Structure 1
Amino acid sequence: MNRINRDLLVLFNQELMSPQAIENEVELLHELLFSVERLDNLVPVHEVIDLNKYKVIKKHIAVRKIIRLQELKPFVFLNCKN
């Protein structure tokens, strides 16, 4: 698995957990985030709201294309369906 350079703020009670247990929990959290943040998992649960064209885009191919953009156009929003 590729290591992503990210900063995580994880709060643990150090009195209850050893440093090895904390490191294990952080590694499991990293694996969870790696699987959740995959593009295949993001596309079905998001839609794009384009206020320039007054449209809500729900097609997976179009949403995937917009998510891959480096920067969204003004007034184009990525919306979670939850």
Structure 2
Amino acid sequence: MSATRTADEATVEQLRDLPPSAKLVAKVLEYEDTLTQSELAEETLLPPRTVRYALTRLDEAGVVDSRFSFTDARKRLYTLAVAE
């Protein structure tokens, strides 16, 4: 398991009004650090479409960061956004 990134108070506040699926995806990213959309679907046991919706909502709230994978440019890697 990767180093754990804890959610700060601002992140928790941003998550408050999001759907449960988005909260679950954020919690998995908190423990796993960096995952692809398919890995998130596997870890959360949510359908890929639900994970995609959750990631969209988290991105709109500024809770997740995404970048292209260096090993497969067709995939994106998601992490919790770091508050500075």
TM (normalized to structure 1)? 0.24
Work out which structure has the larger RCO, using CA pairs closer than 8 Å and 6 or more positions apart in sequence. 2
TM (normalized to structure 2)? 0.23
**More helix by proportion, 1 or 2?**
2
